[in-house]
Amino acid sequence: MLWRRTRPTTVLGVCVVAYAINVVVVPGVPPYAAWFALYAAGVYTQPIRRARYALAMGAGALVVILLVAAGTDRTSAGDLPVPLLVTAIVVLLSTTVRSRRDQFDALRER
């Protein structure tokens, strides 16, 4: 997480893979680090096109991992809506923060 501002897409990839491994070993743990990395990828990745791609791929991977984990016998499907909702909120929050920062930068340049 120390490189989340300088290399956000790399951190996101590592966190998503680590969460996938964690789900196999210890099911039922929310992807806290992956959520922070997803936010950082949405806010700090340059250019904005790459940030959108990183958000889509990262959120998609998290959703797939959560769905596969809910499909196993080790976790209950009732626990699924909250992590999916938090993932959607993180994506929306990061795009909102990114757009506001871009607006402030444009105003500052003007």
79-105 tens-digit pLDDT = 789 999 999 999 999 999 999 999 999
- CA 31 → CA 46, 47, 49, 99, distances in Å? 24, 26, 25, 25
Q: What number is the average pLDDT over the span 40-56?
A: 93
Query: What is the Cα–Cα distance from 87 to 39, expressed in whole angstroms?
Result: 9
The amino acid sitting at 29 is: V
- Nearest 5°: the CA angle 81, 84, 88 is 135
Residue 33 one-letter amino acid? A
Mean pLDDT of the chain: 90
